[in-house]
Chain A
Amino acid sequence: MEQQEIFEKVVEIIKPFVKAPEGVTGAKMETSILKDLKVNSARLVDVVIEIEDAFGIEVSDEAADKVRTIGDAVTLILAEQKRK
């Protein structure tokens, strides 16, 4: 899958978890999931589960912990897809 396609899909996955959904328009690779989108940190577990289901990958706890921005998530997904 192309990076742009992954990016858009990740944004769609994160959108319901964003407290102010308008903040999602204008999201970039550098956008911080916790700081910029203000996603509740307790819900990151749910975001990871959705990403695993949507892209057919498994994300370890350690890998998930390193994800700060949307770009980090995209990079992780690309890497996992290459490994398969």
Chain B
Amino acid sequence: MLAPNAHGKDAFVAALRQGKSGIRHHAHLAAANFACQVGGIPEGVEELQTKYLSSEALMAMNPNMVYAAIAAIDAWTDAGLPRIAPDDDRVDWDTGAILGTGIGGIDTIAEKLAPKTDAGKVSRLGSTMVEQIMSSGNSARVAGLLGLGNQVTTNSSACNTGTEAVVEAFYRIREGRALRMLAGGSEGHSKYIWAGFDAMKVLCKTHNDAPEKASRPMSASAAGFIPGSGAGVLVLERLDVALARGARIYAEVLGGAVNCGGHRMGGSMTAPNPTGVQKCIRAAVQTAGVRPEEIGAINGHLTATFADPHEVASWSRALELAPEKMPLIHSTKSLIGHALGAAGGIECVASVLELHHGFVHGSINCEDLHPSLAAYADRIPHRTVDVPGLEVLAKASFGFGDVNGCVLFRKH
């Protein structure tokens, strides 16, 4: 995975444990008159990408695709799977990828395609435009790098993209259509992605001078989310296949669900229908076959908008657990911002690593807990807590479009 605060699982685990923020002030946002001038962008990628990708490949890849490729290759390598050389004609027919994105290659469009097209210089665009602007650019490039031969697709469901990818990959394997699926999401960092959110006034503009304090999920001073970027990818594999090859298994996907709230009953394009949210959580828990009491931690969607307290209340209602009986609740977005199409992917990776290592990272920047969450105060750690008995974790994302996704992992 590749997040604003770390590259690779070991660095990410350390960053989560330490509560390390990846949010920085970015001069180019200030220059472009953004209200929110801070965000999360993976660091050191210009040099890092040369270790993963040939210059020939990089000529046809925008940041969204680069992030996805780095995360996918890391996940593949960590899973102990061999790389098929580019000139080796074998295809891995049993392995596919669902790597989503929320916005995709908009930077290529805005910086290259649109200006040259409008200037009447279409013939000067070169051959690499389509594969960078097509929504499936990230998954398509990864397929070639890894020789994938099963379903390769880019799903898109806004903030739910990465979590939905994991749920869809889980069901594909369970149906016997693939032995192995890469699942997750990526998102670039272009100001053209972030501009629309800034214009809607859902980004936090109150902490441009204190970037690491800017992402404040569940706080009384939450004033909008902080945009992020990067990629998170899991390798999902049929259990018997993984065991047979001696793979290191971090966790088991017990079940998951996705749904939509229909933009009714309180829901809209940008606000969740609480009934839809609760139905999704319940369905995920049911397919997982666990009792709510068995869930040790919740990695929430929790972006630092007005929706945070409503989300926690929905979890409580869906699980039918009183506040004091709730699992520990935390928000990875407090450290890395909201990485949009990559969020679910990065946060599922965080969840799986937390399960594997037996800890729940603290949510930073909510010492001033939202008053509506007072009853849950004991369940919301501000600093990392070791939870050696952590067995089951529930992860959910709730996206624009009133779309919901929830997946349950169990430590292996």
Contact = CB atoms under 8 A, between A and B. Distances in A.
A binds B: yes
Interface of A: 16-19, 40, 42-46, 49
Contact of A46 (B54, B55, B128): B128
B127 A46 contact: yes
B86 A19 contact: yes
For A40, A44, A45, the residue with the greatest tally of chain B CB atoms inside 10 Å of its CB is: A45
Nearest to B54: A19
Contacts of A19: 54, 56, 86-87
B251 to A, nearest CB: 38
A45 B126 CA distance: 6
A14 to B, nearest CB: 11
Give chain A's interface secondary structure class.
helix
Contacts, number: 25
B124 interface: yes
B56 A49 contact: no
B407 to A, nearest CB: 38
A71 B128 CA distance: 26
Contacts of B87: 19
Contacts of A49: 124, 126
A1 to B, nearest CB: 23
B59 interface: yes
Contacts of A46: 59, 126-128
Interface in B52-89: 54-56, 59, 86-87
A18 B152 CA distance: 26
| A-B pairs with lowest CB-CB distance, top 4 | A45-B127, A46-B126, A42-B127, A16-B55
Contacts of A45: 126-127
B132 to A, nearest CB: 13
Nearest to A50: B126
A39 to B, nearest CB: 9
25 contacts: A16-B55, A16-B56, A16-B59, A17-B56, A17-B59, A18-B56, A19-B54, A19-B56, A19-B86, A19-B87, A40-B56, A42-B127, A43-B56, A43-B59, A43-B127, A43-B128, A44-B127, A45-B126, A45-B127, A46-B59, A46-B126, A46-B127, A46-B128, A49-B124, A49-B126
